[in-house]
Structure 1
Amino acid sequence: METVSPLKPAEPRTRKLSIHVVTWNVASAAPPLDLDHLLQLDKQNLNLDMYVIGLQEMSCGIMSLLSDTAFEDPWSSFFMDVLSPLGFVKVSSVRMQGLLLLIFAKCQHLPFIQILSAKSTPTGFFGYWGNKGGINICLKLYGYYVSIINCHLPPHLANNDQRLEHFDWILEKQSFEGPDIPNILDHDLIVWFGDMNFRIEDFGLHFVQEAVKSQCYSDLWEKDQLSIAKRCDTLLREFQEGPLLFPPTYKFDKNSNNYDTSEKKRKPAWTDRILWRLKRQPHTDSSTPRRLAPHLSLSLRSYNSHMMYTISDHKPVTGTFDLELKPLVSVPLISLMPEGLWTMENAMLINYSLTPDFPSSPWDWIGLYKVYIDISDIPETEDQFLLCYYSNSLRSVVGISSPFKIQPQAFLEEDPLGEVQPQI
């Protein structure tokens, strides 16, 4: 009798996710009318999968905080209004006074994004005040641990040592609930950005201004405090950054592109930065360099400032990344779909199945959501809907149905055989 060996499950294919990171000290300003350039919506065929948006110095007066507690803050509402019609969903957010961190993702990625933690680390007034510090969202993305940190470090040229201390302090305070979450330095990817407030040493105001005017940025790199610290600090050395090929992003007169003309005349500086760190494979042979894990890589597509925005004394900075990974999780924990034909007047049934290791809870729920589509691109005009399964234990959406329609009863009629058929 011939035996047939069982087929091996297919290896998950490599995925490439495009991630757009935004950092901006908005100096208490309200959102402008148009942020298409900042969000790269004016570029064709960009095909972004995720947005990571971090703001600093949002308005945080008593009345603003009370209003934002009762309602969505104006910046979050703005980004949701712009990105929702494009198929993005707000995955998570965290706020600490003037700091705000938002993560948006395309619907198809939601079952593979698990939010593990969202926390704040104040460093102002000996760690009791949140005007400075960091906020962090820790998640699992297709099975990989990813930490995203938005920070606002101490200002002024002379406070460089304090900035480095706060950088270390924010990192040390990133402890996570649950025995299965590794230390942040063991996460597969850390994306760290914000108003880091590092300045340019030694050179005088006139020299810096002339170097910026003539775009001789390389003359200033050697005296950039963050670049100096990365050469000396063992931990900072593991963080990467793109080349600073754009003008310093601080300090500007508001509503202009002129550097500070006030009495203080602050030297221009690259205060607003985006860094990242990939986990490296352990090695036993000290003679060979550590190599990046072959199943996860991050490449920087663009790193720019956006001079057209003048509402703040800072210019926003963006980084667009391509994250290539081999999914460790390739099947949703929950599969669900509507049972039969859904109409507005009949009972609606849902068929769903779950994986054997799924931690179900009586507090789980299934929601029905309208799919937002851009009718200028898609001729379909009838409303479409999605079913989403939310896991209370995992604090994440773990299953999404395919889009479907709910038929009004008026659109149904009997065929000659007496069966009810939808009218397409």
Structure 2
Amino acid sequence: MYVIGLQEMNSGIISLLSDTAFEDPWSSFFMDVLSPLSFIKVSCVRMQGLLLLIFAKHQHLPFIQILSTKSTPTGLFGYWGNKGGVNICLKLYGYYISIINCHLPPHLANNDQRLEHFDRILEMQNFEGDIPNILDHDLIIWFGDMNFRIEEFGLHFVRESIKNQSYRELWEKDQLSIVKKHDPLLREFQEGPLLFPPTYKFDRNSSNYDTSEKKRKPAWTDRILWRLKRQPQAKLCTPSPLAPHFSLSLRNYVSHMMYYISDHKPVTGTFDLEMKPLLTAPLITLSPEGLWTMENDMVISYSLAPDFLSSPWDWIGLYKVGLRHINDYITYVWVGDNQVSVCEGLNKVYINTNNIPETKDKFLLCYYSNNLRSVVGISKPFQICPRSCFKDNILDESHPQI
């Protein structure tokens, strides 16, 4: 999976109105890069200059349920979204995960305000239905431009320390590192070692720290934190059942100094997430029935898990392999309106393939649940025979079949 968060995007009125009607340029860019690698945009949320995107390989789609997307403005007394956080809450193989991208207040003297905004964003993550409180989620990933600065040391000392890669003394005066020692909640969040240079502030289109009149002191403003759910303490002499296996380990935590388009340098964290899945089979199993051609209505067979609650608004989409997002279908069919038969738990619906352009691409079928607002079943890739396969309605035996 890829989780991507941006801050300080172009958030003018014209840009916001344009992005409401069309895909925003950053989402399109990342889809262009990741879709050829079989990654699909699963969800996104935007609040003015903040954007949060989640991509996943297509085989994971039936096991990812998007439960909620939220925006929490904290700028201008909570009425303006130039500062704040955006959140995506999802269920991954049965585990609850919250991902937050934030932009906190700037400047050295505003540390208390940053902590206040951190708490406010957390308090606003109230979910409807039976979604547990965010602090009861199995994993919280919290990242963004947190704007914490380096205290006490002067500009010259900080720059010389960076030049000599002597970061230890700077870590001790990093505001986030200091507050994590005293704040009970922040102490529960983990972070990798800051083995890379401070990522703010640079002259644009260069790797030079700020040479403007303000000469802002470098700082590690761009951070990635995570918090695993605390396991309840076992009572003395009382054996407790083994908790499902769920662990997160950091593989690397680095900055990327070769990018020049911002006055910040981007930071990435790569993690290994190991789990014992609580959901091991998709809610829907589906496949094309028989040999598919581009000349006739074709049949899709699917079966439902016993606990799956279907809706008349559920639909099945036909996609080319390499789809960018769930709305990228070639055609679709409402399962309630196009049902052919139901027999011993096996459902059949027909779909019209007449208008599909001839191509050598492979295809996928995805079942979208209206109740769960997520893909709950996906077929294996398959091919559709072009019209050239047929001569007098007889399949040319030399053509490979499905």
1:392 aligns with 2:370: yes
1:311 is matched with 261
Cα displacement (A) at 1:422: 6.9
2:284 to 334, 353, 356: 334
Flag the structure with more relative contact order, 1 or 2, with Cα contacts below 8 A and sequence separation at least 6. 1
Q: How does 1:370-409 map to 2 (within 5 A)?
A: 370-372=320-322, 382-409=360-387
* Code of the aligned partner of 2:250: L
Work out whether residues 413 and 421 of structure 1, in 8 Å CA contact, stay in contact via their aligned partners in 2: no
Cα displacement (A) at 1:356: 1.2
2:102 to 147, 151, 170: 151
1:126 is matched with 77
Work out whether residues 386 and 404 of structure 1, in 8 Å CA contact, stay in contact via their aligned partners in 2: yes
Cα displacement (A) at 1:294: 5.5
Give the match's secondary structure for 2:297. Answer: coil
2:348 is matched with none
**Distance in structure 1 (CA, Å) of the matches to 2:196 and 2:22:** 37
**Distance in structure 2 (CA, Å) of the matches to 1:71 and 1:372:** 21
Work out whether residues 137 and 149 of structure 1, in 8 Å CA contact, stay in contact via their aligned partners in 2: yes
Cα displacement (A) at 1:394: 0.4
Cα displacement (A) at 1:372: 2.6
1:423 aligns with 2:399: yes
2:186 is matched with 236
Cα displacement (A) at 1:409: 2.4
Q: How does 1:7-406 map to 2 (within 5 A)?
A: 50-178=1-129, 180-285=130-235, 293=243, 295-372=245-322, 382-406=360-384
2:338 is matched with none
Cα displacement (A) at 1:272: 0.1
**Distance in structure 1 (CA, Å) of the matches to 2:175 and 2:254:** 19
Work out whether residues 286 and 378 of structure 2, in 8 Å CA contact, stay in contact via their aligned partners in 1: yes
**Distance in structure 1 (CA, Å) of the matches to 2:392 and 2:148:** 72
**Distance in structure 2 (CA, Å) of the matches to 1:293 and 1:52:** 27
Q: TM-score normalised to the size of structure 2?
A: 0.87
4+ long deviations beyond 3 Å: 284-287, 412-415, 418-422
Q: Matched residues, percent identical?
A: 81
**Distance in structure 2 (CA, Å) of the matches to 1:152 and 1:293:** 35
Work out whether residues 123 and 132 of structure 1, in 8 Å CA contact, stay in contact via their aligned partners in 2: yes
* Code of the aligned partner of 2:26: W
Work out whether residues 413 and 423 of structure 1, in 8 Å CA contact, stay in contact via their aligned partners in 2: no
**Distance in structure 2 (CA, Å) of the matches to 1:420 and 1:348:** 19
1:46 is matched with none
Question: How many pairs were matched up?
Answer: 363
**Distance in structure 2 (CA, Å) of the matches to 1:66 and 1:321:** 36
Structure 1 residues 159, 338: CA separation in 2 closer, same or farther (over 3 Å shift)?
same
* Code of the aligned partner of 1:391: S
**Two-structure CA RMSD over aligned residues (Å):** 2.0
* Code of the aligned partner of 1:356: P
Cα displacement (A) at 1:382: 2.6
Structure 1 residues 294, 335: CA separation in 2 closer, same or farther (over 3 Å shift)?
closer
Give the match's secondary structure for 1:82. Answer: helix
**Distance in structure 1 (CA, Å) of the matches to 2:261 and 2:144:** 17
Cα displacement (A) at 1:285: 4.7
Work out whether residues 193 and 272 of structure 1, in 8 Å CA contact, stay in contact via their aligned partners in 2: yes
Q: TM-score normalised to the size of structure 1?
A: 0.83
Task: String of CA shifts for 1:125-159, please: whole Å, max 9, x gaps.
Answer: 11110000000000000000000000000000000
**Distance in structure 2 (CA, Å) of the matches to 1:254 and 1:419:** 62
Work out whether residues 389 and 396 of structure 2, in 8 Å CA contact, stay in contact via their aligned partners in 1: no
Gaps of 5+ in 2: 324-358
Cα displacement (A) at 1:63: 1.1
Cα displacement (A) at 1:113: 0.2
Work out whether residues 414 and 420 of structure 1, in 8 Å CA contact, stay in contact via their aligned partners in 2: no
Task: String of CA shifts for 1:36-88, please: whole Å, max 9, x gaps.
Answer: xxxxxxxxxxxxxx000000000011111111111111111000011111100
Structure 1 residues 347, 422: CA separation in 2 closer, same or farther (over 3 Å shift)?
farther
Task: String of CA shifts for 1:2-23, please: whole Å, max 9, x gaps.
Answer: xxxxxxxxxxxxxxxxxxxxxx
